[in-house]
Amino acid sequence: MFKKQVTWRTDYTESVKLGEQIAIGLLQEQSLTYNEDNFFTLTKFDGTKVKFSRHEVKHLMNDSEND
């Protein structure tokens, strides 16, 4: 029997980034189904923010863009 005991930090790091991209895509698709106008903001793992609204997704660079 072979045992795989080696895990790589880069594999974990890349899988977190991929999962984050998938989640953002799902949230973007879901936001298109909202009947009322609203928005919500998500903070990504790198600290940047993504604002979802009914008709757009914005990647915000700093807190001044949140207004």
Q: Does the pLDDT at position 19 exceed 90? A: yes
Residue 57 domain-assigned? yes
Segments forming the whole domain that contains residue 51: 9-66
Q: Does the pLDDT at position 66 exceed 50? A: no
pLDDT digits (tens, 9 = 90+) for 21-44: 999 999 888 888 888 888 889 999
Residue 55 domain-assigned? yes
Residue 40 domain-assigned? yes
Q: Does the pLDDT at position 58 exceed 60? A: yes
Residue 59 domain-assigned? yes
Residue 34 domain-assigned? yes
Query: Average of pLDDT values for 47-59?
Result: 86
Q: Is the separation of the CB atoms in 15 and 28 below 8 Å?
A: no
2 vs 14: CA distance, rounded Å: 25
pLDDT at 21: 93
15 vs 7: CA distance, rounded Å: 12
Residue 47 domain-assigned? yes
Residue 41 domain-assigned? yes
Name the β-bridge partners of 57.
52
Count up the domains in the chain and report the number: 1
